Amino acid sequence: MTASSIRRNGVVIDDTFAEAFPMKATRILVTAHDIVWARHAAVSATGFATSVIACGCEAGIERELGPAETPDGRPGVSVLLFSMSGKELAKQLERRVGQCVLTCPTTAVFAGLPPGGPGSDTAALGKNLRFFGDGWQIAKMIDGVRYWRVPVMDGEFVAQEDTPVVKAVGGGNLLLLARDTDAALAAAEAAVAAMKKLRNVVMPFPGGVVRSGSKVGSRYANLSASTNDAFCPSLVGLVAHSELAGGAAPEIGCVMEIVIDGLTEADVGAAMREGMQAAIAIGPAGGLLRISAGNYGGKLGPFHFHLHKLLAAGDAE
């Protein structure tokens, strides 16, 4: 434990920060005859959406919605999608809604963000998918908003014409360093469960957790990212710099990372704080020894989430 580290419930909290970057995002609401089919569509639409490195977007289910929370009075699911540009986000959205929501029995899709002002960005929902109706599609204006009704074999697919696109923040993260796999998974699962109680954020990796944390660059010229060897337990003593050798909690045998995307900087910070507090509650008795975060010296993005400051802000509330 260094002089600048602190302990909470026996867990070492590194004096470091998570480095995040600007993204573009939107929220869509998928409704259906019942929550089962809304969930099927949302799960499919957010598949292969863990990292913009290869997936084109990062996406996840924000929460499930009751009939009183949706435009058509049916059960639904709120989905958040993030990408590095509005153009790429629009492309991903059209493909995912077209292939995973339009195709799913009984579904409809609506914008989940308030409309922006003149000149604000939007991405198509029903605007282009209406052509699947082969000329039988019908437009409907309700309170100044255009919706499309597209005939399909179970009735109609209803889609709002477009959805607002907003500036967002991606890449908030926590590194949970534990004694073994069971402890690391327990801490990560507790942290993700706490974060999921908050709105405006998603954790896009499977179960909200990623074991293949990365660093920028590689010894292979064609790779932009590679394994974060400083946090790999099997490489202690083999790499020039290991975060797991000696120092605080040298008995670390497993590290798990949680990546957080949010609509605002405040949303990401709040989620990181909730996740840390949930993991800290497990403590060394449950095998969690240390919490850190991934950054690239401030060169990756302008949003810096300092772990000590996040916890101090929580103490002040």
In the chain, the domains with their CATH numbers are 6-16+169-316 (3.30.70.520), 24-164 (3.30.70.520)
pLDDT at site 317: 72
Residue with tokens 């993030």: 82
Q: What is the mean pLDDT of residues 300-308?
A: 95
Q: What is the mean pLDDT of residues 266-290?
A: 97
Task: Give the integer Cα–Cα distance in Å for 108 and 35.
Answer: 12
pLDDT at site 316: 76
**C-alpha distances in Å from residue 275, one per residue of 7, 87, 210, 261, 299:** 16, 32, 15, 13, 25
Whether 249 shows a pLDDT value over 70: the answer reads: no
Is pTM beyond 0.85? Reply is: yes
- For 138-188, the pLDDT digits (tens) are 999 999 999 999 999 999 999 999 999 999 999 999 999 999 999 999 999
Q: Which residue has the higher pLDDT, 19 or 316?
A: 19
Which residues sit opposite 108 in a β-bridge?
31, 158
Whether 246 shows a pLDDT value over 80: the answer reads: no
Regarding beta strands 288-292 and 11-13, do their DSSP bridges make them parallel or antiparallel, or are they unpaired? parallel
Q: What is the mean pLDDT of residues 106-122?
A: 90
